[in-house]
Structure 1
């Protein structure tokens, strides 16, 4: 029994030593340099290593260890890091994850460092991004790259339907969709991805909806309800398909889905997979109801709360935040720069497609900044399924959803 007790104690001591040794994610490397660990997600993690090596060239005393984490594993890995205190120095966070991990105390408050790093100040970013930088009056992250949704449309098919330019209002969007839908069987007007949790919120913002805060869920407000009625009407009237069907790029190419909403990543995908569409498509800002608001997405860079390499981590984030670095990252990853200053660069300002994104970014909102948003959004997708496919009553469904949202928060 005594031998077993000593064995358990030894195992516990080794485990504790490992945690303490790894605490903060970095430290001194063998050659005397400071080493920082960076966790980055998905493809970004794979490509970030190249940028990190250039940072090392300019900062000879710092080594950057980039760990690429698949998006599917990222959330659980971050939760484990919070529980153990064994996290990286710098971590990438999707904007909808910021409230959850900030609430858990996992993110360092950057406010005390703004004097030395004025480029981190909110005025350097689009208003929609600023929301995701803050939590409880603390600045917990710096926007790295951003995205928003715009309208992709076939210019040739819209012209045949009587539109020389993209629909600019809700009424015009519905009218254009009806005319495109009338072309025949299996022809639709507007493709809406029912699995995209942010699209209904985009419609709601355009209809004047404002999230009141976690103390009172208001997903049953007239503005929210009116937006969902408009959203659902596309499915009810057969203007949007309820089944996924063929790949959106192929459907866009064939003309069966001549309009859809998406982000900047779709530009290269269409150019690569549907080169025959050259000069037959374009993008436009979102159609307007009360406003033409779209979503603000992307990723922030934060510092883990117990990093022992704060100065080095700040230098790295500052480097990633430079306009030249952001423009290089645009070339590598086709993701949009977060700094408003970058949008004065000719590559963005003069490009007929990217410049539209720049205009749309001036009118965006981030998802509600509450830690429970992901759970609420998943619950909402179930409601959307029952409304658009099952024909559920919108009033009753939103009433039930609002109650569930309150229960989740409570």
Structure 2
């Protein structure tokens, strides 16, 4: 636990340093020696597919196409999600970052506050075709309200409930659950013979946040006050975290081993028939990579307390997705803008989002019939009507770290048979809240 706490403290301290000092390097006007390396770009891509190698196979032909069109060579590095945020924060403080990078859209406001990323003002947006090309839900997770976006949308995703058709049929279940009560009832029929009803990634901090944020909305909690102060111990926040951990602790729908999952292992269990359901973002490529055919699984909107998904307490997903950003101190700003324009162009949007099973955030590309199938329709409809953006506050990345860790530790308690109570959940969230910058004790020098 000490190692976890030390890592959390380090992440918060680094984020505070970023907010105070911004990004190093570059010129006085922030142009970074704008075009001193006009024929090369470095690009950090996030790991979207089942492996880093699979991503290279998807991306390299497109980068070669860009080089042929522009003469600009793109040096690609695919960075695993477990390393990406730390790599970005280190690059921001050192000034030794890539020219272009992918970021989780939930980090937009945090990285925006650091000063490390190029602001997408009207001029920069015009260079890639304008802001109006993108759908509103995707633009809502590009930075704090009232400021120029810190990034532009690249891939749009939402959570949905994926279920194993054969396991459902064998249990006599004729349709996927629409509410949490139905999921619990169905889950009791499915959790038998060594199989679990639903999988979680209990040691994946970001995934923990995504799930408890949605449950928080269903319980009337936002985790931050309107003025941006952490509010982790409200009754709604506590109820949300407890409901999620209780899938293992009380309901016995999740196998204890899931407490240690952090690298998509729950998807592997699902593909191999060891788990009947998963809540995930566009995992079709991973299912296929593990030998699961599309007719073996179904997809439905993620559960809500009652009725059908919609706004307010019927939110059933965060607005998930990947944004594309440019480091403020790039030495090839013109080339970086050309590359972002290429990657967000209609042609590439169709190619890349089809490859990854995501939905294009570009309006004209999203209208293509290739994205009208049943599985993507659930995602598209969720984004349009029942998804909410995570708080666009500078402390969002710390929120993911400290509350994600609190949920991880509660899952560890559940797996070990230790009681998970309202009091223990509130205490763990209280510890997390004390680690947030605005909640830490400050002393004068």
In structure 2, the CA distance between the partners of 1:67 and 1:135, relative to structure 1 (3 Å rule), is: farther
**Which residue is equivalent to 1:8?**
none
In structure 2, the CA distance between the partners of 1:129 and 1:240, relative to structure 1 (3 Å rule), is: farther
Q: Following TM superposition, by how much is the alpha carbon of 1:333 offset from its aligned partner in structure 2, in angstroms? A: 4.2
Q: Deviations over 1:120-176 (max 9, x none)?
A: 426722425522344762211001113222111123332454532211112211111
SS in 1 for 2:324: strand
SS in 1 for 2:378: helix
Q: Given the alignment, which residue of 157, 164, 167 partners 2:174?
A: 164
Counterpart Cα distance in 2 of 1:387 and 1:122: 47
In structure 2, the CA distance between the partners of 1:90 and 1:24, relative to structure 1 (3 Å rule), is: farther
Counterpart Cα distance in 2 of 1:64 and 1:329: 19
Counterpart Cα distance in 1 of 2:243 and 2:34: 51
> Which 4+ runs in 1 deviate beyond 6 A?
none
Counterpart Cα distance in 2 of 1:227 and 1:400: 13
Q: Deviations over 1:364-386 (max 9, x none)?
A: 23333333223323432344325
CA contact (8 A) 1:144 1:301 kept: yes
CA contact (8 A) 2:128 2:340 kept: no
Q: TM-score, normalised by structure 2?
A: 0.74
1:398 equivalenced with 2:416 (yes/no): no
Q: Given the alignment, which residue of 351, 361, 375 partners 2:401?
A: 375
Counterpart Cα distance in 1 of 2:365 and 2:333: 26
How many residue pairs are counted as aligned between the two chains? Answer: 381
CA contact (8 A) 2:241 2:407 kept: no
**Which residue is equivalent to 2:257?**
243
Rg larger in 1 or in 2? 1
Q: Following TM superposition, by how much is the alpha carbon of 1:315 offset from its aligned partner in structure 2, in angstroms? A: 2.2
Question: Runs of 5+ in structure 1 lacking a partner?
Answer: 1-18
CA contact (8 A) 2:138 2:153 kept: no
- Cα RMSD after superposing both structures: 3.2
Counterpart Cα distance in 2 of 1:140 and 1:118: 14
Counterpart Cα distance in 2 of 1:134 and 1:315: 25
Question: Runs of 5+ in structure 2 lacking a partner?
Answer: 1-24, 306-312, 439-445
Counterpart Cα distance in 2 of 1:97 and 1:383: 23
Counterpart Cα distance in 1 of 2:114 and 2:284: 37
**Which residue is equivalent to 1:65?**
74
CA contact (8 A) 2:198 2:275 kept: yes
SS in 1 for 2:233: coil
Q: TM-score, normalised by structure 1?
A: 0.80
In structure 2, the CA distance between the partners of 1:286 and 1:341, relative to structure 1 (3 Å rule), is: farther
1:205 equivalenced with 2:224 (yes/no): no
- Map 1:213-224; keep pairs closer than 5 Å: 213=225, 215-224=228-237
Q: Following TM superposition, by how much is the alpha carbon of 1:254 offset from its aligned partner in structure 2, in angstroms? A: 5.9
In structure 2, the CA distance between the partners of 1:83 and 1:253, relative to structure 1 (3 Å rule), is: closer
CA contact (8 A) 1:128 1:365 kept: no
**Which residue is equivalent to 1:50?**
61
In structure 2, the CA distance between the partners of 1:221 and 1:273, relative to structure 1 (3 Å rule), is: same
Counterpart Cα distance in 2 of 1:48 and 1:131: 24
In structure 2, the CA distance between the partners of 1:40 and 1:160, relative to structure 1 (3 Å rule), is: closer
In structure 2, the CA distance between the partners of 1:361 and 1:376, relative to structure 1 (3 Å rule), is: same
- Map 1:339-378; keep pairs closer than 5 Å: 339-349=362-372, 351-362=373-384, 363-369=386-392, 370-371=394-395, 372-378=398-404
